[in-house]
Structure 1
């Protein structure tokens, strides 16, 4: 019974981050703008990569099935 209680409390603490693990970083004030900048940069890289992939793609004919 004690193990069940410990597991339950451990799960609740992970969800609520009351006693965060060492790898959990609590956000600081002003991190929202920094996060926004990082996300904007990441999305720019994704869009650039997608554009590059689309330029390489050769489009085929829409009706390329052979008739029987």
Structure 2
């Protein structure tokens, strides 16, 4: 079970970082003004955190479902 928890954490962090990286890339590519830049980065961080938590829960629930079925 420890392997599944670590897998869920690592993939959640990678997904969160990827979502935040997209926000940073958009801000950098389009030269967004400073007040909007902060909002976009905060939004990217929030979306990244939500995506990471979603991935973590999804992986752990899938593992639990398979464990209950005896697979």
State whether TM-score is above 0.5.
no
Q: If the TM-score is normalised by the length of the shorter chain, which range does it land in?
A: 0.3 to 0.5
Q: Output the TM-score relative to the length of structure 2.
A: 0.41
Higher relative contact order (CA 8 A, sep 6+): 2
Q: Output the TM-score relative to the length of structure 1.
A: 0.43
Greater share of residues in helix: 2
